[in-house]
């Protein structure tokens, strides 16, 4: 597997070198709005620890990301008056990953409303 690239877009967002719409931050995770949202409120939760994807991250760091997604899911249900939540997390190009800093997509959903592809 390719090594973690410290110049990936999300690493730059974490370092404050690129702008983002921040949703949440704690000691372990950072969350911000996706630049091309598939639904309103589409949020990305990332670890502060450098990790390319699930194949590269320590279990405890992955647990921090899952906890962050859990928190964002609950907040998004309220903020968007949602009927459900979709969570996705892609790994390596074959798994659909495009940006190589681990991230979970948290997407508020509404009955009868499709996500953009």
**Residues of this chain that bind ligand 5GP (CB under 6 A):** 9, 20, 32-36, 90, 96-99, 103
CA–CA separation, 24 vs 116, rounded Å? Answer: 24
Please state the closest distance from residue 12 (CB atom) to ligand 5GP, in A: 8
The DSSP symbol for 94 reads: G
Nearest to ligand 5GP of 93, 111 (CB atom): 93
Q: Which residues lie across from 45 on neighbouring strands?
A: 31, 104
Q: Which residue, 4 or 111, has its beta carbon nearer to ligand 5GP?
A: 4
What's the distance, CA 67 to chain centroid? 12
CB 81 to ligand 5GP: min, Å: 23
Toward ligand 5GP, which CB reaches closer, 8 or 70?
8
Give the shortest CB-107-to-ligand 5GP separation in angstroms.
10
Catalytic residue among 42, 101, 103, 105: 103
Dist. CA 106–CA 91, nearest whole Å: 16
Q: How far apart are CA 57 and CA 74, in angstroms?
A: 24
Based on the residue annotation, tell me whether 103 is a catalytic residue of this protein: yes
Element (H, E) at 12: helix 9-14
Active-site residue list: 103
């Amino acid at each position: 597997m390719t090594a973690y690239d410290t110049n990936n877009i999300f690493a730059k967002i974490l370092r404050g070198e690129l702008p983002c719409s921040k949703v949440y931050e704690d000691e372990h995770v950072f969350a911000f709005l996706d630049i091309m949202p598939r639904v309103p409120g589409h949020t990305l939760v990332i670890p502060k620890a450098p990790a390319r994807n699930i194949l590269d991250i320590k279990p405890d760091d992955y647990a921090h990301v899952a906890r962050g997604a859990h928190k964002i899911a609950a907040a998004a249900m309220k903020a968007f008056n949602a009927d459900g939540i979709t969570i996705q997390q892609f790994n390596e190009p074959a798994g659909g990953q495009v940006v190589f800093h681990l991230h979970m997509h948290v997407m508020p959903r509404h009955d009868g409303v499709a996500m953009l592809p």
